[in-house]
């Protein structure tokens, strides 16, 4: 039975190597060697299998799994040849050095695309592909190449590159995005025709907008709202005066009824005499009744007859003695907020003011700055759909661009967004962007305006480190 297991174990490993070395089928290599390590965790081929898996995960753009296999090699096979080649590729065998040189060559092509040296990137890639085939491609390189072709309206070239991503790297996070871009490219003319035929007539004030959904011609027309009848102003002062006269007249009727026994006569507003007056003696008599004075009930202290306190009761609310107020509690409740640290800078620190998040892109062509903005728009709509977050681009200098994400109510909210987003930016949001090309900061609108005026990013980074340190 053991011989049978050993044979299966060896055959599985050999199949994984064939898929890797001869066929360069990285997804199938991963599936085969992961199955090997699952069924035979103590296999004698574990170190080499982890080394191959590390390479395949890097090639397919799964950085998290590549780091996981690297960690396993360092923990379980520290000092082995495979661990050294993964940790320091330049220190390995002659073959690994050659592979490192070729990877470096494609990395240079990748950076040329990102920084906008498109002619040089395309020429270098053509030479490298003729020498090495597809062996050293990465999904990130192919993706940025496809974006370049799309911006140049070279749709057929873009489709070829996107299909290569889907075929060669089906498990990469860029694969579903490549499929979406293929679908959009297939409908580019339809979308452009729709936008071209969309005619909008600017409505006037208080106009109702009606959209005519005609497939041939999309047109927006305007209908004026129906006219409302004029509003007659009401003289509220006159109404209040009439009401007062009616009340006085009813009061006199009541007084007459008491003295003569006659029934009071009710008069409407319209029947009030203009010369009607109430005798002042009648009103004086009505409201001249004496009001009794309520003496507070007191309790005499037996120890000291001269000391008494007022006992509250239902008839003497004025005698209620309020409980003593604790000054210490009041002081704690209204304790002033700690003052922000004093920073010697032209920028101002206000953690309670509205904030923005800025992603700084260093030497990134505007083509990919726009693509980065689109990527964060998609991410925010999926993950922060209940918040009114907007994304825009702002150039800072010839080599620096900003992706501005806002608004956030205060510094804490902006920092929380930054922490969560920075963790997934490299793997989910912009996996095609080289890691050293972007970084995140938070900033207030006033400080952003100041930064745009001064153009000194290093100065603001120093302020940022002092204002938001430890948060």
The Cα–Cα gap between 52 and 16 comes to 9
The pTM (predicted TM-score) of the whole model is 0.51
pLDDT at 393 over 90: yes
Q: Higher confidence at residue 335 or residue 314?
A: 335
pLDDT at 314 over 50: no
Question: What pLDDT, on the 0 to 100 scale, is given for residue 85?
Answer: 84
Question: From CA 229, how far away is CA 7, in angstroms rounded?
Answer: 95
Report the pLDDT averaged over residues 144-170: 88
pLDDT at 273: 45
Strand pairing partners for 220? Answer: 200, 211
Task: With CA atoms as reference, report the closest residue to 254 among 294, 225, 275, 285.
Answer: 285
Contact indicator for 319, 310 with CB cutoff of 8 Å: yes
What stretches of 11-116 adopt beta strand conformation (E)? none
Domain boundaries, the chain: 2-87, 108-187, 188-222, 355-467
Considering 8-17, 205-214, 317-326, 402-411, the range whose residues carry the highest mean pLDDT is 402-411
> What pLDDT, in 10s, does the model give residues 186-221?
777 776 676 666 554 544 544 444 444 444 444 444
CA distance 252 to 20: 111
The reported pLDDT for the residue numbered 390 is: 93
Q: Is the pLDDT of residue 237 over 70?
A: no
pLDDT band at 405 (very low <50, low <70, confident <90, very high): very high
Cβ atoms of 74 and 105 within 8 Å: the answer is no
Q: Give the Cα separation of 298 and 307 in Å (integer).
A: 10
Q: Specify the higher pLDDT residue, 331 or 415.
A: 415
Q: In this predicted structure, what is the pLDDT of residue 471?
A: 63
What pLDDT, on the 0 to 100 scale, is given for residue 220? 45
Residue 274 confidence (pLDDT): 45
- Contact 233/224 with Cβ under 8 angstroms? no
- Which long-range contacts does 419-424 make (Cβ < 8 Å, 24+ apart)? 421/357, 421/379
- Residue 170 has φ and ψ, to the nearest 5°, of -65, -25
Cα(174)–Cα(59) distance, integer angstroms:
12
Q: How many helices (H) and strands (E) does the chain have?
A: 18, 9
Note the pLDDT of residue 141.
Answer: 86
From CA 352, how far away is CA 356, in angstroms rounded?
Answer: 12
The proportion of the chain whose per-residue pLDDT surpasses 70, expressed as a percent, equals 62
Q: Rounded CA gap, 414 and 442, in Å?
A: 6
pLDDT at residue number 223 = 46
pLDDT at 322 over 60: no
CA angle 241, 244, 246 (to 5 degrees): 110
In terms of pLDDT, which residue wins out, 12 or 313?
A: 12
Say how far apart CA 409 and CA 436 lie, in whole Å: 29
Select the more confidently predicted residue: 131 or 155.
Answer: 155
Residues ≥6 apart with Cβ < 8 Å to 279: 252
pLDDT at 225: 45
Position 401 pLDDT exceeds 90: yes
Strands 208-212 and 298-300: unpaired
Range 250-258 average pLDDT: 57
Q: Evaluate if residue 397 carries a pLDDT over 50.
A: yes
Decide if 56 contacts 26 (C-beta within 8 A).
yes
The whole-number average pLDDT for the span 235-261 is: 55
Lowest mean pLDDT among 274-278, 326-330, 433-437: 274-278
The CATH class, in words, for 355-467 is alpha beta
pLDDT in tens, 51-99: 999 999 988 888 889 999 999 999 999 888 888 888 876 555 545 566 6
Which pLDDT tens digit goes with each residue over 9-41?
888 998 888 888 767 778 889 999 999 999 999
Worst-scoring range by mean pLDDT, 35-49, 83-97, 386-400, 415-429?
A: 83-97
Please report the pLDDT score of residue 416 as a whole number.
Answer: 94
Per-residue pLDDT for 351 more than 70? yes
Please check the confidence at residue 372 and state whether its pLDDT lies above 90: yes
pLDDT at 26: 85
Give strand pairing partners of 404.
358, 392
Give residue 277's pLDDT: 46
Report the distance separating Cα 143 and Cα 467, nearest Å.
38
Tell me the pLDDT of the chain averaged across its residues.
75
Nearest to 358 by CA among 469, 429, 444: 444
Contact 356, 404 (CB under 8 A): yes
Nearest to 440 by CA among 356, 343, 354: 356
pLDDT at site 353: 95
Task: Supply the CATH classification number for the domain 2-87.
Answer: 1.25.40.10
Q: Which of 220-229, 234-243, 356-365, 413-422 has the lowest mean pLDDT?
A: 220-229
pLDDT of 184 reads 80
Q: Does 457 or 471 have the greater pLDDT score?
A: 457
User: What are the residues facing 360 on neighbouring strands?
Assistant: 402, 439
Q: Helix H segments across 22-138? A: 26-39, 46-59, 63-76, 81-87, 94-114, 118-132
């Amino acid at each position: 039975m053991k011989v049978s297991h050993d044979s299966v174990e060896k055959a599985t490993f050999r199949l994984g190597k064939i898929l890797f070395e001869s066929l360069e089928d990285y997804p199938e290599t991963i599936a085969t060697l992961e199955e090997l390590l699952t069924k035979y965790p103590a296999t004698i081929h574990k170190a080499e299998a982890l080394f191959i898996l590390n390479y395949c995960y890097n090639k397919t753009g799964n950085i998290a799994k590549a780091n996981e296999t690297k960690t396993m090699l360092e923990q379980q096979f520290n000092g082995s040849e495979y661990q050294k080649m993964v940790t320091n590729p330049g220190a390995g065998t002659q073959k690994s050095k050659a592979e490192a040189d070729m990877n470096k060559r494609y990395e240079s092509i990748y950076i040329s695309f990102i920084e906008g040296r498109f002619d040089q990137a395309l020429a270098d890639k053509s030479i490298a592909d003729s020498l090495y085939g597809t062996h050293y491609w990465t999904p990130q390189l192919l993706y940025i190449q496809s974006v370049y072709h799309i911006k140049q309206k070279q749709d057929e070239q873009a489709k070829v590159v996107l299909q290569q991503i889907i075929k060669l790297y089906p498990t990469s996070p860029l694969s579903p995005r490549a499929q979406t871009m293929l679908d959009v490219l297939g409908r580019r003319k339809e979308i452009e025709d729709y936008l071209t035929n969309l005619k909008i007539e600017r409505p006037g004030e208080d106009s109702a907008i009606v959209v005519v959904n005609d497939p041939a011609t999309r047109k927006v027309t305007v209908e004026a709202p129906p006219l409302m009848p004029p509003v007659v102003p009401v003289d509220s002062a006159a109404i209040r005066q009439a009401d007062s006269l009616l009340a006085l007249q009813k009061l006199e009727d009541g007084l007459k009824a008491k003295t003569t026994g006659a029934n009071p006569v009710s008069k409407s507003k319209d029947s009030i005499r203009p010369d009607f007056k109430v005798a002042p003696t009648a009103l004086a008599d009505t409201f001249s009744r004496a009001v009794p004075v309520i003496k507070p009930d007191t309790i005499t202290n037996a120890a000291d007859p001269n000391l008494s306190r007022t006992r509250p009761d239902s008839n003497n609310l004025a005698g209620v003695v309020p409980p003593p107020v604790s000054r210490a509690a009041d002081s704690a409740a209204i304790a002033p907020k700690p003052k922000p640290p004093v920073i010697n800078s032209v920028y101002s620190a206000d953690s309670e003011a509205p904030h923005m998040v800025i992603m700084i892109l260093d030497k990134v062509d505007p083509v990919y700055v726009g693509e980065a903005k689109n990527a964060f728009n998609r991410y925010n709509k999926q993950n922060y759909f209940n918040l009114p977050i907007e994304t825009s681009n702002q150039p800072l200098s010839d080599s620096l661009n900003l992706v501005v994400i806002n608004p956030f109510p205060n510094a804490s909210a902006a920092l929380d967004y930054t922490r969560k987003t920075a963790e997934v930016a490299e793997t989910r949001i912009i996996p095609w962007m080289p890691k050293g090309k972007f970084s995140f900061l938070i900033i207030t609108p006033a400080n952003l305006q100041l930064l745009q005026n001064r153009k000194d990013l290093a100065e603001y980074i120093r302020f940022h480190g002092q204002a938001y340190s430890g948060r």
